[in-house]
Amino acid sequence: MRITVTVDGTSYTDDVEPRTLLVHYLREQVGKTGTVIGCDTSNCGACTVHLNGQSVKSCSVLAVQADAADITTIEGLAKDGQLHPVQQAFHDNHALQCGYCTPGMIMQSIDLLTENPDPSEEAVRHGLEGNLCRCTGYQNIVRAVQDAAGKVRAAQTPAEQPAGSQS
C-alpha cells in the first residue's frame, strides 16, 4: 500500500506492507531512529510520537493507519538549534539516566502539558502512567515536567495563559 505522511514537517510517500507498524516505518523507511522500540506490545511507551497532535504509541499503530497524517517525532521538536522547553527541562533536571525511555517520556509530557498546563505531581504521574522508566524512579521526570510547565507559562503573555494558572 502507498501512504503519504508528513513527519517533522517533511512529506514522505512510500509503499508499505499493510502489517508494518508505524514505529518500524518511522525508523526503517524514514530514518527517525530517535523513536525507539522498547517492547512492541504498547506497554513501555518508548515509541511515543504525536499523530495529528495526539500522543500515540507507534508500536500500536499500523503505518497505513497514519496515511495523510502529521507525525511529530522526538527529532522534530527542536527548532533552530533550540531544544523544546520539555527537552530542556529534562536536561536541566537530570530526568534521564540510560535515556531509552526519554523520547517517549518527552512526547507524552508535551501531550500532558497541552491538556493540563499546570499539573500537580499526582497529575504528572497519572499522565505518564503508560510510559515506563526502569532507571530514575520518576522523581526527576516529574520535576522536569513541572519545570517545563512553569517555563512555558512564564513565556506566555497574560492573554495566552490558561484561566486560573499562576506564573
Q: Model pTM?
A: 0.91
pLDDT at 22 (0 to 100): 98
**pLDDT tens readout for residues 22-73:** 999 999 999 999 999 988 788 999 999 999 999 999 999 999 999 999 999 9
The pLDDT tens digits of the residues spanning 70-82 come to 999 999 999 999 9
Q: How would you classify the pairing of strands 10-15 and 2-7?
A: antiparallel
Burial (0-12, 13-18, 19+ Cβ within 10 Å), 75: middle
Question: Taking CA 23 as the corner, what is the angle to CA 14 and CA 126, rounded to the nearest 5 degrees?
Answer: 140
Which residues, in sequence order, are bridge partners of residue 14? Answer: 3
Number of helices and strands in the chain (H, E): 5, 5
d(C-alpha 118, C-alpha 123), whole Å: 9
Kindly report the backbone phi and psi dihedral angles of residue 107, in degrees, each rounded to the nearest multiple of 5, phi listed first: -65, -40
Give the gyration radius of the chain's Cα atoms: 16
CATH architecture observed for domain 85-155? Orthogonal Bundle (1.10)
In the chain, where the domains are located:
2-76, 85-155
For residues 81 and 100, give the distance between their C-alpha atoms in angstroms, rounded to a whole number. Answer: 22
Q: Which of 56, 49, 59, 66 is nearest to 13 (CA)?
A: 66
User: Domain 2-76: what homologous superfamily?
Assistant: Beta-grasp domain (3.10.20.30)
- Alpha-helical runs (H) found in 14-62: 22-24
Dump pLDDT digits (tens) for 112-147. 999 999 999 999 999 999 999 988 768 999 999 999
